[in-house]
Amino acid sequence: MRLTAGPEHAGERLDAVLAEPLGSRTRAARLIAAGSVTVGGRTVAKRHIVTAGEEIAVEDAAIEAEKPPSLDDVIDPDAPVAEYTVAYEDEHLLVVDKPAGVVVHPARGHWQGTLAQALSGTAAGGEDEWRAGIVHRLDKDTSGLLVVAKSDAVHAQLKTALQARDITREYLALVEGRPTARSGTIDAPIGRDRHARTRHSIDTDQPRDARTHFTIEQVLPRYTLLRVTLETGRTHQIRVHLQAIKLPIAGDPEYGREGLLGLERQFLHATTLAFTHPVTGAAVQCVSPLPDDLVAALAAAA
């Protein structure tokens, strides 16, 4: 898809200019972040200010890959329903405890059995009906807590709180080796890896700010259990950042060594979620204990 920016686009951000032709500003931002959009033949950030006459191109393949089928095509009544438990719920929102193996919303290769489909009729809000109510996500094989809205207004408020870093997200991660300090911050931009498009990395042509904080929770002979807090929320952020400081997460098939300690996935669990309720103003804090497979791996590491 190609378009030439007109006078009416001058002074606008790139993601705003592409919002209409791509269906939403959120979708435009995702494609820009993935490096699928060029301006004058070069990749730029979503905040790029457009000038009249600039040539903007979006890869056709990326558009099709990003676009899911309609809900009527995606929702199969005979498909398995994603399992989850509810850690907190009221009329405005719910906090879901997602098991490993469940994809949060439909995407290429995972059209069926997602959390978003299981929450259809309960969750609501946001620009994309195929992931209604979803405020943030977890990787398929990362377990734990995430908050889901039940209306447009609450979804918008939770998104704003997330961007303002007013939602606390803590994880437990078992890593190979040991940090050189009891606590620390990894401040390194992340984007698509220069050499492997399915991976994310600090070695990237599309860097986006990313900060991860960690403290030592438990020291084991060859491993360390870390409590990790996200300041930003980039794809695979914790996995990429810990691998970058030579502390790969145990069992991580993409950024570490698969199968360690009998693990069938990475040892990463979203254990704590805390925020101020956008409607009532009450403090909401949910804690999820380690699931059985991670408890067994931790015992094997002792």
Percent of the chain surpassing pLDDT 90: 61
For residue range 80-102, list pLDDT tens digits in order. Answer: 678 899 999 999 999 999 999 99
pLDDT band, residue 27 (cuts 50/70/90)? confident
For residue range 39-51, list pLDDT tens digits in order. Answer: 998 889 988 999 9
Length of the chain: 302
Residues 231-241 have a mean pLDDT of 92
The values of phi and psi at residue 240, to 5°, are -70, -45
pLDDT of residue 283: 98
How many CB atoms are located within 10 Å of the residue 51 CB? 14
| 123: β partners | 120
pLDDT band, residue 156 (cuts 50/70/90)? very high
pLDDT of residue 70: 55
For residue range 213-223, list pLDDT tens digits in order. Answer: 999 999 999 99
pTM of the model: 0.76
Q: Which residues belong to the active site?
A: 139
| 88: β partners | 95
For residue range 67-76, list pLDDT tens digits in order. Answer: 555 555 555 5
Name the class of domain 2-66.
Answer: alpha beta
pLDDT band, residue 23 (cuts 50/70/90)? low
Q: CA–CA separation, 101 vs 238, rounded Å?
A: 18
Flag whether pLDDT at 252 surpasses 90.
Answer: yes
How do strand 93-98 and strand 143-149 relate by DSSP bridges?
Answer: antiparallel
Check for a shared fold between 2-66 and 169-270: no
Domains of the chain: which residue ranges? 2-66, 75-163+274-287, 169-270
Topology of the domain comprising 75-163+274-287: Pseudouridine synthase (3.30.2350)
Superfamily of 169-270 according to CATH: Pseudouridine synthase (3.30.2350.10)
Residues 246-260 have a mean pLDDT of 96
Higher pLDDT, 144 or 200: 144
